[in-house]
A and B are shown apart, each in its own frame.
Chain A
Amino acid sequence: MKYGMFLFSLLLSNQQIFAQTGNTDVKLDLLKQPSSPAAHLLNFAPNSIEKPTDLTAVWFSFNNATGKLTQLPNSYALDLSPAVLSKSKLLSLKSLQATALKDILWQTFVISTGIKQFDDTVTKKSYYKTALGFKVTLARPAWSEATLTKFNELSVIQESITNSNITIRKEVTKDSTIKNLDRKRRDVLAQYGQQSAEYAAAQQQYISQFSIAFAKLSAEQNAELKAAIRKKAEGFAIERVGWYAELAGGFSAAFPTNSFTYSTADRSGAWLTGGYDGGFNKISFLGIARYLYQPETLFADSTGKLPTNKISTFDAGTRLLYVSGDSKLNISFESIYRSVLNKSIVNPSWRVLFSAAYSVGANQQLTFSFGRDFDGTLEKSGNLIAGLNFIVGLGGDKTVEK
């Protein structure tokens, strides 16, 4: 009974701590750059953004969205990577090791566009908004030693498959059927020329039989290697260690009369993200700065009800995160600044939070947090907004979200 009371009192103290911190739902991740700036400005869900990988797919997507070019789409967002669309030579996995600025810019540059129909709440009429944006990585660290090791292990198997395919090709070309078909196409080439229908038929016959024979031998001889490389590939994830920086921006325009001759500036934004990535489960530092013009809601307005017309905001934040090698100790320091630039409707406010968690057993975590909330609670009262907290969970092993 005493133990039950103790647990109950711990639960109550836990509730009190959350009540004190208040803005626990305001996290630095809210400031992170969107995956698609233009789509973000038009409120698209990330999974509704089309990302074609070749020009045919671009045309098919556009044709589909516009009803074969007969109408404007009601809702359409498109992300285009020039490197992917142009079939750049920098697409292979090894090319992603590149750290030279020109390679990084080319590989990561993405143009995002979107068009969406909105309803005017006053006139009850529909009108269009369009948006254009971009995102690019400015600096990217090299792969970690662990990633290089995994890549090398993968490469060893891939090289074995290549060597096997060299042997298979030689075996296939020695096959009597293939040799006969090869002889036949060579004769037709000499007699009728490469542009002739006779040659096209002989060539088709040869390549068809060659492909079948090659695939059959590969299935027999490469099966084990392919099973092994599948396993290696599944466990592969790129880990980078070092400094990085990413930039994204975009703007949207509204067409209140649905005429291209009359448009108004709608929303715009710019996101700069940078920091130091220590790798998986290591120390990392993140810094974010965000500028928004006419955002949907003001980040600095906790009520979320103030009008945002012709208002610019600037928000920024930092996070220092350390996770011990055994993942038991987790320490983070997070700060967020939020402000309205051109009107004094909300005072700038800031928040800092230090938190630490240590797993002392299955589903048992000792946590500690300390900081100052946006409303200045610490400065006004001078007391801590959070304290030592011991969490005991029921059931199996689970991580506790801070």
Chain B
Amino acid sequence: MANDPFVYDNFYKINTDDDQVTLDLIFGGLGQSVDYVLALDDVIKIDHSKISIQDYTLGKGPDLAGKTLTVSGNIQDMPATSHDITLILRIKGGATNIEQSYAGEVSPGDNIDISLAVHFYK
């Protein structure tokens, strides 16, 4: 049976001042293999990365208004690991901070799809 994908699709209210909006994408567990593409509208910002990111600057709030951040990828369970697959999405710098955590215990060798989308609005 296929595992449920890690899906996020929601709106994020930005501040109208010049605060930088930052992103964390933390992939786990230990030794699991990840691949993802991060894009802001149709502009690819991170192309097929294999590592987590912390405090990644997306831009100033007003510059992000009306744009959509997408993260598409997958996490592959590897042998000799715990078979716990996790993902933490954090966005800071807007009207509120968001933190969304995903976790799943998979069968050895399973692969979990990732599709995240954040729509920035004023």
Contacts and interface: CB of A to CB of B under 8 A. Distances in A.
Interface in B73-100: 73-74, 76-80, 82, 84, 86, 88
Interface string B48-81: 1011111000000000000000101110111110
Contacts of B31: 91-93, 96
Interface stretch (A81-89, A131-139, A322-330): A81-89
A105 interface: no
A94 interface: yes
Contact of A92 (B4, B10, B28, B80): B28
B30 A233 contact: no
Given A53-B82, A155-B35, A214-B5, A165 B114 contact: yes
B52 A90 contact: yes
A235 to B, nearest CB: 9
B73 A219 contact: no
**Residue from B10, B32, B54, B77 with most neighbouring chain A CB atoms (10 Å):** B10
B113 A214 contact: yes
Given A165-B73, A233-B76, A158 B4 contact: no
Contact of A89 (B35, B52, B84): B52
Given A90-B52, A161-B74, A236 B79 contact: yes
Nearest to B50: A94
B120 interface: no
Contacts of A229: 76, 111
**Residue from A81, A206, A207, A211 with most neighbouring chain B CB atoms (10 Å):** A211
9 contacts: A53-B28, A107-B30, A155-B50, A162-B35, A194-B13, A210-B7, A214-B115, A215-B2, A234-B109
Interface of A: 51, 53-54, 81, 83-84, 87-96, 107, 151, 154-155, 158-159, 161-163, 165-166, 168-169, 189, 194, 203, 206-207, 210-211, 214-215, 218-219, 222, 226, 229-230, 233-234, 236-237
Given A165-B74, A189-B11, 9 more contacts: A53-B28, A83-B30, A92-B28, A158-B76, A189-B121, A207-B9, A210-B9, A229-B111, A234-B109
Q: Which 4 A-B pairs have the closest CB atoms?
A: A89-B52, A94-B50, A158-B35, A230-B109
